[in-house]
């Protein structure tokens, strides 16, 4: 069987998922100008994607096991399309929130469905390669959500963009359902619903899980919430960049993220062959990521682009935890380990993206219409403290 027949439909889905996740960083000025959104409104609206995504993760894990990735992902992508059309037609902040929430629900299986499909249809020896490629596909979605989106806004507006996104989601749903191969037997693993739920209980009561999960959640919450929204306004309000420069910077940040997905995986693989555990590579990368934020907190603008590119590269280190954590559980629990960690990660991203907006909103809006630099500083300090505390927890935690 051709690897492309399995890989391409899911790669396109995860590409679109990531594109829609980060696009608000570019279109934020248009949303603020047209809809009159405050920082809190903007944060809540954008993070509604994360909230719906989070709430869907545990059910998605069960659906993938019971009905298979082909039917689950194709069905959910229909909700993503509906969400795009609602967002494109929204006249109020509530309409925008509803659209974003449906988009989050509809894309909840794009990555997890891909991981399960690869296990079902591809040889085990190809899994590390295709898993890295699917993450890179998401990174390319983030890249597309920068300069290409800014260019598209010269021929349409943000509403037109979401009509295109909705139509694309429909097309990918059809592709997943009809192009992905079907198995002659069941596409699922045996087990009752009660047994599958019991597996989640085993994950969430594991000391191994609670050693690793906090720092992963704190690091990824900062990365996802900032890269998906607050990086763009920060570059405008703190660094003083114009729209074209902001789009260029976001493009390079996203490109650095792609390099991080591929590079950190390669580094972890090399170090693993000489005896260094993946979890310690992830810890070192997340520590560097937290340290980099010091530059953003003091708002030194002497090296804006290099700092943010390093932010994009090392922000991917939390992804290594997924592979490392899975090694501490039986193979039959791996799917529930990943979706269990995803619940916490994207729940944290929702709270971080919204909470940062609430903090930024505590300061008066600047004369030019942007947000106060002091607000960003306070929000970044809170997130940095949380990351440091969870990194210390990893070091001092001992299994009892």
The model's pLDDT over 282-315, given as tens digits with 9 standing for 90+, comes to: 999 999 999 999 999 999 999 999 999 999 999 9
The answer to whether residue 45 is domain-embedded is yes
State yes or no: pLDDT of 83 exceeds 80.
Answer: yes
The answer to whether residue 317 is domain-embedded is yes
What integer pLDDT is reported at residue 67 of this predicted model? 82
Between these two residues, 264 and 360, which has the higher pLDDT value?
360
What integer pLDDT is reported at residue 262 of this predicted model? 83
The answer to whether residue 187 is domain-embedded is no
Whole-number average pLDDT of the chain: 88
Cα 62 to Cα 47: distance, rounded to the nearest angstrom: 24
State yes or no: pLDDT of 188 exceeds 80.
Answer: no
The number of folded domains in the chain is 1
Tell me, what CATH number does 168's domain have? Answer: 1.20.1250.20
State yes or no: pLDDT of 347 exceeds 80.
Answer: yes
Q: Residue 105, CB half-sphere, CA atoms under 13 Å: how many? A: 17
Angle formed by the axes of helices 24-35 and 243-273, nearest 10°: 150
Closest to 141 (Cα-Cα) out of 54, 227, 20 = 20
Cα 243 to Cα 228: distance, rounded to the nearest angstrom: 16
Residue with tokens 């001092």: 396
What integer pLDDT is reported at residue 400 of this predicted model? 46
Domain of residue 98 covers 3-178+192-396
State yes or no: pLDDT of 366 exceeds 80.
Answer: no
Tell me: the pLDDT tens digits for 10-22? 999 999 999 999 8
What integer pLDDT is reported at residue 27 of this predicted model? 94
Burial 121-146, CB ≥16 within 10 A → b, else e: bbeeeeeeebbbbbbbbbbbbbbbbb
The answer to whether residue 289 is domain-embedded is yes
276 DSSP assignment: -
Closest to 200 (Cα-Cα) out of 49, 69, 329 = 329
Closest to 26 (Cα-Cα) out of 301, 311, 233, 166 = 233
The answer to whether residue 186 is domain-embedded is no
State yes or no: pLDDT of 1 exceeds 50.
Answer: yes
State the average pLDDT over residues 106-129: 78
State yes or no: pLDDT of 330 exceeds 90.
Answer: no
The answer to whether residue 308 is domain-embedded is yes
Q: Which of 182-186, 275-279, 324-328 reaches the highest mean pLDDT?
A: 275-279
Tell me: the pLDDT tens digits for 258-287? 898 888 878 887 887 788 888 899 999 999
State yes or no: pLDDT of 186 exceeds 60.
Answer: no
């Amino acid at each position: 069987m051709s690897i492309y027949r399995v890989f391409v439909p899911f790669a396109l889905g995860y590409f679109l998922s990531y594109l829609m996740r980060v696009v608000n960083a570019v279109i934020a000025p248009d949303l603020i100008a047209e809809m009159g959104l405050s920082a809190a409104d903007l944060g809540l609206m954008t993070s509604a994607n994360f909230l719906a995504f989070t709430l869907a993760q545990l059910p998605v894990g069960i659906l993938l096991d019971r009905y298979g990735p082909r039917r689950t992902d194709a069905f959910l992508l229909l909700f993503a399309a509906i969400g795009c059309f609602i967002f494109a037609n929204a006249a109020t902040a509530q309409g925008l929130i509803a659209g974003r929430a449906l988009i989050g629900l509809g894309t909840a299986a794009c990555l997890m469905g891909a991981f399960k499909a690869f296990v079902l249809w591809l040889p085990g020896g190809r899994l590390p390669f295709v898993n890295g490629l699917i993450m890179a596909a998401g990174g390319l979605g983030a890249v597309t959500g920068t300069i290409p989106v800014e260019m598209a806004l010269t021929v349409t507006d943000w509403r037109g963009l979401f009509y295109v996104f909705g139509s694309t989601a429909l097309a990918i749903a059809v592709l997943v359902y009809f192009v992905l191969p079907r198995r002659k037997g069941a596409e699922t693993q045996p087990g009752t619903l009660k047994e599958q739920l019991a597996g989640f209980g085993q994950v969430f009561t594991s000391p191994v899980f609670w050693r690793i999960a906090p720092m992963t959640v704190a690091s990824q919450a900062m990365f996802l919430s900032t890269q998906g929204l607050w990086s763009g306004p920060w570059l405008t309000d703190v660094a003083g960049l114009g729209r074209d420069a902001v789009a260029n910077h976001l493009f390079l940040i996203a490109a650095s993220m792609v390099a991080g997905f591929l590079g950190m995986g390669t580094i972890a693989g090399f170090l693993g062959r000489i005896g260094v555990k993946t979890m310690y590579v992830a810890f070192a990368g997340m520590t560097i990521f937290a340290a980099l934020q010091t530059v953003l907190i003091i708002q030194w603008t002497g090296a804006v682009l290099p700092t943010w590119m390093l932010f994009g590269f090392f922000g991917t280190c939390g992804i290594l935890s997924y592979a490392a954590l899975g090694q501490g559980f039986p193979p039959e629990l791996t799917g529930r380990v990943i979706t269990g960690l995803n619940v916490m990660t994207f729940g944290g991203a929702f709270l971080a993206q919204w909470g940062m907006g609430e903090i930024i909103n505590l300061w008066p809006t600047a004369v030019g219409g942007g947000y106060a630099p002091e607000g960003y500083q306070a929000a970044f300090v809170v997130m940095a403290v949380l990351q440091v505390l969870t990194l210390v927890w990893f070091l001092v935690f001992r299994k009892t």
